[in-house]
Chain A
Amino acid sequence: MGPYSYVASWSVDSSNVSLDPTDGHTITATGDGYGDACTTADMGSQERYSWDGQNCYDDNYADPIGETDCTEVVCAVPTNFHQVGQGSDSGNGTLHFDYAWASTTGRLSDLSQCTVGEKVDYNSSDIPFPSPPFKANISPPNPTVLNVTGDLGSGQDDHSTPGPFVKPYVSKTVTATQIYRYSCPCHNSGNWETLVGPLSIVRSVSQNQDASWKFTITKSGSSATINPLP
């Protein structure tokens, strides 16, 4: 609606929307609740006159000048969270993933109040990581929680393992459990909602058939490896 060349008086039939200012050529409508709301721009009325062949006379009827338009206030949340391409080995045993998501309204900017992120849980018995074969005192935050703002629409995730690995090498596996999730203040009181997961992040040191050793990290069917370990 608008802008109008004449200053309109604006009103709305629902508390779902507030208007600021309420008089003007153009105003801003803000969603305060969820549901329908009809906004009216009132620019007064125009008196109707007729002509009887000799005189102009008042029809005693006024045509209202204005417009009403209805809209629905919705809560935008992230949707279609997905992995972009395959996970890749970015060297030194680091596994890299790219992710992207969209907004249920079709506009990423509507997610500016939302947070998209991950939560990674380790078994408490794996903290610190068993050494050998892992480096001593590897104690990541448990859970590991990292977020980005929702309106970015994309993120990346690197899974690393600090070296050097410690001899004598022994077969050992550490499995962490990851979820990707979002929080929007307009949805479910801002509580977290899972987008994807749980996913297993599996770190293994194992022996090759030729008696050498290797490290492999695997998630979602992709892996990175250090083979052989020095």
Chain B
Amino acid sequence: MKMAAFVVALLTFACVSVVVMNGQRTRGTGTDSHSEWVGRTLVQIESIKVGMTRKDLQRLFTAEAGFSSRQKRTYVFNECPYIKIDVEFQPATGPRESMDDKIRTISKPYLARRVLD
């Protein structure tokens, strides 16, 4: 459990550091700024709702590499690819993945290594 907490803290630090290095919104590297960034990120992630489209999702997230299906795919947060959600879709018409596919379920965000495949 302590190890899990450490990993979460470490990855959060890594993500925040990337944002800082990229000159984006976060100021400083203290615990407060980390918390502030995570809090803001959660609000952004929670803005994605069931019934929205794949296009809506891809404003904030990028499809993760690897083997997947049109119906279920893992997405990584654009600002930090270690933050992921698993999303299930109701396919729109047509045989291939579409930006009009509707979100059916969204997992809670979680941290995991980046998949390249």
B116 at the interface (CB under 8 A from A): yes
The stretch that binds A, out of B2-10, B27-35, B60-68, B101-109, is B60-68
A117 cross-chain contacts in B, Cβ below 8 A: 67
Decide: A162 near B116, CB < 8 A? Known: A148-B72, A156-B97: yes
| B-facing residues in A141-168 (Cβ within 8 Å) | 141, 144, 146-149, 152, 154-162
A159 and B67 contact, CB distance less than 8 A: no
Closest A-chain residue to B96, C-beta based? A98
A157 touching B69 in the complex, CB below 8 Å, given contacts A140-B113, A141-B113: no
Residue pair B68, A155 in contact (C-beta under 8 Å)? yes
Candidates A139, A149, A157; contact of B67 at CB < 8 Å? A157
Q: How far, in whole Å, are A160 and B116 apart by their CA atoms in the complex?
A: 5
B67 touches A148 (CB 8 A): yes
- The distance in angstroms between the C-alpha atoms of A148 and B86, with both chains bound, is 12
Q: Which residue of A lies closest to B74 (CB)?
A: A146
For residue B70, CB closer than 8 A to chain A, the reply is: yes
Give the interface residue-count category, chain B: 10 to 19
Known contacts A138-B116, A144-B116: A159-B65 contact under CB 8 Å: yes
Q: Is the CB of A140 within 8 A of B67?
A: no
Beta-carbon nearest neighbor of B63 in chain A = A158
Q: In the complex the two chains form, is A94's CB within 8 Å of B70's CB?
A: no
Q: Interface majority SS on A: helix, strand, loop or mixed?
A: strand
- With A140-B114, A140-B115 as contacts: A157 and B66 at CB distance below 8 Å: yes
Contact A118 B117 (CB under 8 A): yes
**CB distance B69 to A152 under 8 Å?**
yes
Measured between beta carbons, the chain A residues less than 8 angstroms from B117 are 118, 120, 140, 144, 146, 157-160, 178, 201
Min CB–CB distance A87 → chain B (angstroms): 13
- Distance (Å) between the CB of B45 and the closest chain A CB? 21
Contact yes or no, A155 B67, CB < 8 A: yes
A contact residues around B116 at 8 Å (CB):
138, 140, 144, 159-162
Residues of A within 8 A of B70 (CB): 154, 156
CA distance A155 to B67 in the complex (A): 7
Q: Which residue of chain B is the closest to A158 with respect to CB atoms?
A: B65
**Chain B residues, CB < 8 A from A180:** 67
A120 to chain B, nearest CB (A): 6
Q: Could you say which of B68, B70, B72, B113 has the most chain A C-beta atoms within 10 Å of its C-beta?
A: B68
Query: How far, in angstroms, from A178 to B65 measured CA to CA in the complex?
Result: 14
B71 at the interface (CB under 8 A from A): yes
Is A158 a contact of B69 with CB atoms below 8 Å? no
For residue A178, which residues in chain B have a CB less than 8 angstroms away from its CB? 117
Q: Quote the shortest CB–CB distance from B84 to chain A (angstroms).
A: 12
Interface residues of B (CB under 8 A from A): 63, 65-72, 81, 97, 112-117
7 of the cross-chain contacts (CB-CB < 8 Å) are A117-B67, A140-B113, A140-B115, A154-B70, A155-B67, A157-B66, A159-B65
Q: Which 4 A-B pairs have the closest CB atoms?
A: A160-B65, A118-B67, A148-B69, A146-B67
Query: Which of A's residues lie within 8 Å of B, judged by CB?
Result: 94, 117-118, 120, 138-141, 144, 146-149, 152, 154-162, 178, 180, 201
- Please give 7 more A-B residue pairs, beta carbons under 8 A apart, in addition to A118-B67, A154-B69, A158-B65: A139-B114, A141-B113, A144-B115, A148-B69, A155-B67, A155-B69, A157-B68
